[in-house]
Amino acid sequence: MSRLTPVLTADQIHQVVKSIAERISRDFQGRELVLIGVLKGSFIFLSDLVRQLRIPVKVDFLQARSYGSGTSSCGTVRLTKEIDVAIRDKDVLLVEDIVDTGLTLNCLLGHLKGMGPRSVGVCALIDKRERRATDVPIAYAGHVTTEGFLVGYGLDYAEDYRELPGIFHLEL
């Protein structure tokens, strides 16, 4: 039987998202900001985040699949959904649910940089910093943790648990 242990309540997540939204609103005041969510895990975080911003933004999504456990930044990552919004000369923030090794993110950042944006940064709700295998800067990190596998608030295990309003540690 699998066991769920609470890590962040819905109220705590709300506070984390609010403080990230305040920083982004301040930093990108007067700019043309495009938020790009990484599917599927970021869908709840991104939808809460945009509603707490005080600046206008455009929204799009990317999806990537990773295969195997290769250590190259892009060799095992395949893009399965491309963005539609034009990002040339725009400020871009890639919105991730959780950054673990950082390999997926590194690949996606390289891809977006190739499209000629004015800037590209990363916003992640959960940062498993200790597990990083590649150096990827996270401008806006919500909750830094060393806890094992997390689910809820968009995060899944085999497509389950995304609907939970809080975030939990999953023990199988």
Could you give the CA distance from residue 129 to residue 46 in angstroms, rounded to a whole number? 21
What mask of x and - would describe binding to Mg ion in positions 20 to 59, judged by CB under 5 A?
A: ------------------x--x------------------
Residue 100 interacting partner from Mg ion, ligand IMP, none (CB closer than 5 to 8 Å by kind): ligand IMP
Residue 134 interacting partner from Mg ion, ligand IMP, none (CB closer than 5 to 8 Å by kind): none
The Cα diameter of the chain in Å comes to 51
Could you give the CA distance from residue 21 to residue 42 in angstroms, rounded to a whole number? 15
Is 91 annotated as catalytic?
no
Site for ligand IMP in 55-114 (CB under 6 A): 96-105
Q: Which residues pair with 6 in a beta bridge?
A: 168
What mask of x and - would describe binding to ligand IMP in positions 11 to 50, judged by CB under 6 A?
A: ---------------------------x--x---------
Could you give the CA distance from residue 83 to residue 61 in angstroms, rounded to a whole number? 6
Residue 43 interacting partner from ligand IMP, Mg ion, none (CB closer than 5 to 8 Å by kind): none
Closest separation in Å from C-beta 38 to Mg ion: 5
Could you give the CA distance from residue 109 to residue 59 in angstroms, rounded to a whole number? 16
Q: To the nearest 10°, the Cα dihedral for 115, 117, 121, 123?
A: -80
Q: Which residues bind Mg ion (CB under 5 A)?
A: 38, 41
Catalytic residue positions? Answer: 100
